[in-house]
Structure 1
Amino acid sequence: MPDAAAPHSSFPADLRAAYPPDELLWGVLETSLTGLALYAPLRDAAGHLIDFAIDLLNPAAQQLLGQPARPGGTYLAHYPQALANGVFAFYRTVVESGEPGELLADYQVDNLNKTMQLAARRVGQRLLVSFGAAPAAKAAHAEAEAEAERQQFQALADQVPVALGLLAGLELRVVAANQRLCAQWGHAPGQVLHRPLLEAVPELRGQGFEALLHEVMATQKPFVGTEMPARLLRNGQLTTTYYDVVYQPFYTAQGALQGVINVAVEVTAQVLARQRLQAPADELQAANQALTAAVAAVEQARTETERQRRQFEQLFMRAPAAICIFEGPDWVYEFVNPGYQQMFYGRQLLGLPLLEALPEVAGQPLVAILHHVYTTGETFEGREVLVPLARTAGGPIEDIYFDLTYQARYNEQGAIDGFVTYAYDVTEQVLARRQREAQQTQLQEVFEQAPVAIFVLRGPAYIMEVVNPAMSELLGPPIAELLGQPYFEAMPELAGQGYPEILAEVWRTGQPFVAQEQPARLARHQPHETGYFTFVYQPLYDAHGRLTDIMGMAVDITTQVLARQQVQSLNEELAVLNEELQASNEELHDTNTQLLRTNADLDNFIYTASHDLKAPIANIEGLLLALQQEMPAAGRVGQVPTMLLLMQAAIERFGRTIGHLTEVSSLQKAHAQPATPVSLARVIDEVQLDLAPLMLQTDARVLLDVPEGTILLFSEKNLRSVVYNLLSNALKYHHPDRTPVVRVTYWAQGSYQVLAVQDNGLGFDLARGEAKLFAMFQRLHTHVEGTGIGLYMVKKMVENAGGRIEVRSEPEQGATFTVYFPS
């Protein structure tokens, strides 16, 4: 066994010394995107390597194989097919030789079914293996290579004079079989090729051949049998026949076990003849010699096939990239490897100019690139270059992405006579990456803009792997302080509030936890402040059904809970107030009843007083008139005439006051009058006619801005009284130094119809006089005759109908009264 010292390293000694080996090793294991496995050889008593112990799998290997870091057991116990696909033999060769190596192998286990690319080297007494899914080009090439080898073997099998076939894998799939072997089996080639042996030739079931073949693959030792009986179809009947057979292990160029070569010579006639005639043993010797010759021929054919295969390897046939060579200025396809041809399945390339073989390339930027390489000799390298092409003849044009290298080729004279193309079809990777990026972008946008707070806790340590802005705002700390931290280290205040127990239960049972109005005290809360949250802890599983994470979604409902609590408290207070209000309402009802009685008594008193006073006043007025008529002229001397006039004026004022008292008592009755549609313009015109003498006396101008057809829903009698009082006041209280101008304006405003009366008269000081402006028997100007009851009546009539009246005024500047009638 070679020396177990550390293998040669491609890194300089000073660079290796700069990094602690243990830290560097664990860092590589943790961060590597490919699977890394460390195996320990297991040997038998004789020192033969018989298996490997699995010491360690890095995270990428755990993800790829679906295993923990130390799964236990041996390599072959987990992957017995490694004997058949050559992986175990490859590992053993690397360990025994001490030389690193690479291998492409098909894996077909429960969670893995793909072509894997392996790289292995011995590290001390252990084996370090790096593995990952083989690139699509390599996998396709491996399939093409296997098919080429199968075809070569089939061509050889058809030429040898014995029954010859190749069985691959644990299922013993028939990948090659010549006519002689098919005839022995009793089935046509089309019935057996590419099918498992016992499915293609079911007559062999239970006759022990499957166990013999599997033993050859397990031990990798050939089996030679003589006169072995087999019941097979002959003329449609199961017949016992006899064969001398050789089962020879068959390996790939890398030493991986590919299958078993089946060599058979039918000796039925000899056996039967011996059984009948006890024929001499020389016939058997002849058969054995023939069998030996056949085995020698098979070995010679395999040697020649291996030589040709190596020659093709030198011509890029095994290159992982798609390679072709263009010749001459017309760029004629001189060479195309299988990987390149596979990209254009069924299209003729060899011997044709590029633009004839792939006419869709014409006019694309690729042509200019090729022309530049061919004329200047400068190498072109491009990543993810878009080249619209048809993969099949007559097929649709597809957007295909390549990693490309174009390198000029020179002849013996140093002139460019062509160029070499290295291409990797990376379309799937580009589209997959773009799809992932789009999905990730969309998911990130949804995640960041989600109206609920979201986080993801990884593993039983609850590492905060994902935190959206809403969750950061809810918890308090910024996202940078939360990511990568254990949940209860980032939020220690929650550790003593029952949340560790809740998460532990979710992790133990795998069942989600839903909380409504869960109280929590966070660091961002004020002392004695409690927040309330509705949230869900949802377990997340990987593709193998293992619990890996817990996602939390939360909504802060503190405001709602506190508001509900406050509403509840207010409701309790309101209930108390309602009781008090009910008692007050009862008391108010009694007071209102008493007030109604008092008002009724007052109305009766006013009506009675005004009615009873009318007759005495009329009598006094009659007596005064009689006195004036009977008094002789001699008696009308001194102050007598003046006193008579004052007495007459006092009687008239007394009569008007009695009339106003009657009108005031009738306001409450007027409130009950029904509202009817009234033409505002008509009422204003009628009032102007009534005030015509006063307008003529004052030389006043009335300017109207009231649309024709304006209708108010109001008592017509009351509307006339309102308009009359406002217009007459504007004329009576005009300024002595200027001609009276009164503007009457109408407009609609919301649920009101508005009437404004503006004058340029005396005006008044609202700060001093607004309180008594609308009071009964109150007057701001006394130089004009009046009783002080007009505006009081206007305000009462408007408010009784559900409207209001407003006033703006300044002394010496006039006044504006604005009445809001309900629509």
Structure 2
Amino acid sequence: MPKRKSDIPAIERGFQRALEEAPAAISLRKGPDHRCVFVNRAHLESTDGRPQLGRAFAEAFPELAAQGFVKIFDRVYATGEPFVADGRRADVPTVPGGPLKERYWNLTFQATHNDDGVIDGVSTFAFDVTDHVRARREAEEARRQYDELVNTLGIVVWRVDPEGWRPEWVRGHVAEVLGIEPEAALQPEAWWAGIHPDDVEVVRAARSSVRRAEYRVEYRRLTGDEAWRWIAESGQLRQEAGAEQPSAWGLLQDVTERVLHRQERERLQDHLLHVQKLESLGVLAGGVAHDFNNLLTAILGNASLAEMQLTTGHPATRAVNSMVAAARRASDLTRQLLAFSGRGHFKVLPTDVNEQVVELTVLLEASIPKKVNLRIEPHENLPLVAADGSQLSQVLMNLVINGAEAIDEQGGTVVVRTGVQVLEQGDLLSVGPFAAAAPGAFVFVEVSDSGAGMDESTLARIFDPFFTTKVNGRGLGLAAVQGIIRGHQGLIRVYSEPGRGTTFKVFLPALTRGALQYPPAETPAGRLNGTVLVVDDEPSVREFARAALEFGGYRVVEAADGRLGVDAFRALAGEIDVVLLDLTMPRMSGEEALSEMRKIRPATRVILSSGYNEVEATRRLVGRASVEFIQKPYTVRELLALLGARTTS
């Protein structure tokens, strides 16, 4: 209350100035038509400055009357109840004669009373909050777009308190990624439940590092469909404006498909590296076997020649016999190396796998332990396969003996089963993307044992050369088996688990009728003399061949490579009866030399020889008229028998 009555005008003037200068748009309107009796500067500036004093509201602001504001005035004036609204839209022009502008206001309409307490007017207070509303709407639109992006990407966005990893909010595909409802994701324990036990510590370490740096971790989580899914989680620390403590923000995404594709790509890369390693080792093994066979040809050949020339009871006979036996064992080792390299089959004929199995198991029954029961289950009407019988026997022998040795003292069973199966491209890819076999019908031989089985680490290495679990093993048996099967355009599968035995399943392409013909029977020359041209780049082989042939009654002409051999053949074509021709030589190969010789004298008998098998060359050449093959190393008897000479000493 004013101290003196004379102070009232001053107070009223001060109050008047306060209203005039107030930031809110203030007006006072009297009577039922809401005629303006007071309007402050802010009210005038918020519109186009049009005259308002003494004018009814509908007259002064027809555009606002059309927007329903007269009704608001009428209701407040009639009831005395105030009207309060936040963010109410009221479109007004901001310059004289200008267009209506979209504006938003916080409004308060309050009834005024006369001295008798009767309502005589309405006062208005308005704050322009257009910028705030627009900012809020932009934020809402940004959040909508953000949520839409999160939903489109199929991710989860989260914010947690790094102390205790307490979730503050979570958005996105919570149910799909985490396998829980969005409400449950706000519970701290939900962020740890379902993580694979092997991944818990990795996740814990990653989340603990968020205070130091941004982190990213991949782990397995059990989702709502009871399946393990791979989750990629990333997070970083962020200090928000106005927040006392920073929060951890991050993303979760289901990356199962990506991880599986990556694992498959890595598996293929590992398989490719393994194939390349085996190919490199195969080339090395084949090269070593070839060179070693050339040496063995001289060693075994000369030793067999000495053996034939020794008289009965000669003191050197025992030593020479031991030399021959040792050379033959070395030859067996080179055959295994050739088999591993896939270059070891030489006489490819239509072969009945059932006959091979029966013949071999009859022999093996006497050599495997009595505690092992060997059972055969042949498939009737089995198609033939194109195979080298001796090489196929080596495969079966390796697999059956391995199966028998895997059975413990309690005894068990080895089952050899044959059959036919059609393999599609997908079946071949399951063995490996680089399998040489083509889709189609295959004859299979399955060798199963009831032994101890193998763990995954052993199973992954069983075909590696020189890997063995046997005390005295060389680790070439299964490597040779794989090489032989690969050389036959087949494939091999292995199934094994610890305590549940092992099964090897060999697939060989089935022959269609007429696909491979039996070669005509070879007719020995049946004579003791003649001229033989020996073409070989190894001097020791030529020296032995000369000695062996001269021992058999032949005259010998030597040539140190294919080109010299052709020259010698051209000069002596009328005298040469047989050509002993090495396949692998510098300057001109045996195949090229044979082609040139055929141009000179087509009917000349030719015996091809090699330290390893040139598979494609021998397939094309051997079986033609007057073309035969002998594998190094060979003895005097084997060479002379092929030539048709008597070999008695």
Which of the pair has more CA radius of gyration? 1
> TM-score over 0.5 for the alignment?
no
TM-score, normalised by the number of residues in structure 1: 0.29
> Which structure shows the bigger proportion of residues in helix conformation?
1
